[in-house]
């Protein structure tokens, strides 16, 4: 079985993800003491609107190997 798995930084259009059955593993966005999976908590538009007021600047973290394993097909 062949599977395409990537993290959410690839920013592929939804129609491509669905057409090719691509598994997208969310990266982590860290704002202050709170961590969010990419695509949850707020929209990208909301993030960019809030960005000038976020201090210290947000950081990101790559998905763990365990998270990638969770998204792998059996």
Residue reference for tokens 């920013």: 11
pLDDT at residue 19 tops 80 = yes
Tens digits of residue pLDDT in 29-64: 999 999 999 888 888 899 899 999 999 999 999 999
CATH code for the domain of 23: 3.40.50.10170
Q: Which structural domain, as residue segments, surrounds residue 36?
A: 5-71
Query: In the structure encoding, which two tokens stand for residue 57, read together?
Result: 């600047």
- Number of helices (H), then strands (E), belonging to the chain: the values are 3, 5
66, two tokens? 């365990």
| pTM reported for the whole predicted model | 0.77
Q: Given pLDDT bands bounded at 50, 70 and 90, which one contains residue 73? A: confident
Local structure of 10: helix, strand or coil: helix
């Amino acid at each position: 079985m062949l599977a395409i798995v990537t993290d959410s930084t690839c920013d592929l259009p939804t129609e491509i993800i669905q057409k090719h059955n691509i598994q997208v593993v969310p990266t982590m966005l860290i704002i202050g003491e709170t961590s969010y999976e990419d695509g949850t908590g707020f929209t990208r538009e909301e993030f960019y609107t809030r960005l000038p007021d976020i201090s210290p600047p947000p950081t990101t973290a790559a998905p763990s190997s365990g998270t990638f394993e969770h998204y792998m097909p059996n």
